[in-house]
Amino acid sequence: MKRYQDEVQEEILTVFPGETGELFYELWTNVAHLHLNWKNYRSLFGTSERIELLNWAASSFFGLLDGILRNDVVLAIARLTDPPQSAARKDNASLARLIVMLTSFIDTTVADELRLELNDLQVYCKPVRQIRNRLLAHDDLATALQYHSDPLPGINQAFIEGVLEKIRKLLGDIEERFRGSRTSHQYVISSDDGESLIFALESAREHEKCHQREFNQKYGINRTNE
């Protein structure tokens, strides 16, 4: 995996103009990590059956992990869709900053198309940014005390999938222009991921059931709900 990443980085730094390659590779990597974290979240918490399994194993721990993974996804999306500069006039490693840097290397028509895509993404991500700004990055008093006139929006899995699709589209359009291809981040893979944990927990629960059945049979215990 490390070798593949090194090869991709070398190619990106070669084909992207000026200093844009370094920022593109940073964003490319961040998008890959975002998709991996989201994949793990869906593997663990995507169905009621799996949530029931996690509750069986360690409900408090997985309840904590649920919040950690969700917050990480929200923060990653917010960072990617940040403006080119922060309020302190510091450059952000964001898609908007990348487009600003690429403007002098691409046609005006192409730059306008990318800005339209970016604007569509930023508008769509408004709920994410509200949560980041008022709940995660800052402790907004009105929100914390639950009397804000504009309550925080709910975010479901379908919404996150929509965000990721738009991010892939924008980053892919830029990547294809310079690399001649686009990365399918939605198919990111990793060993020992959420699916591996689910498999291990399912095996452990089945082993416990078998052990309980053997115990019941040995001591003549009749239990209908195992």
26-54 confidence digits (pLDDT tens): 999 999 999 999 999 999 999 999 999 99
Residue bearing the bigger pLDDT, 220 or 1:
220
Q: Same domain for 144 and 214?
A: no
User: Do 181 and 197 belong to one domain?
Assistant: no
Asked if 125 and 201 touch (Cβ cutoff 8 Å), the reply is no
| Domain with 205 in it | 191-226
Tens of pLDDT, residues 56-67? 999 999 999 998
Per the domain annotation, does 47 fall within a domain?
yes
In the chain, DSSP finds a helix count (H) and a strand count (E) of: 9, 0
pLDDT at residue 143 in the model? 42
Distance CA 167, CA 185 (A): 10
6 occurs within a structural domain: no
Same domain? 106 vs 215 = no
CB 81 within 8 A of CB 163: no
pTM: 0.85
Tell me, yes or no, whether 207 lies in a domain: yes
Residue pointed to by tokens 């359009």: 173
Say whether 168 sits in a helix, a strand or coil.
helix
Say if residue 122 is in the same domain as residue 222: no
| 210 lies in the same domain as 174 | no
Domain count, the chain: 2
In whole angstroms, give the CA distance from residue 94 to residue 30: 10
Do 109 and 65 lie in one domain? The reply is: yes
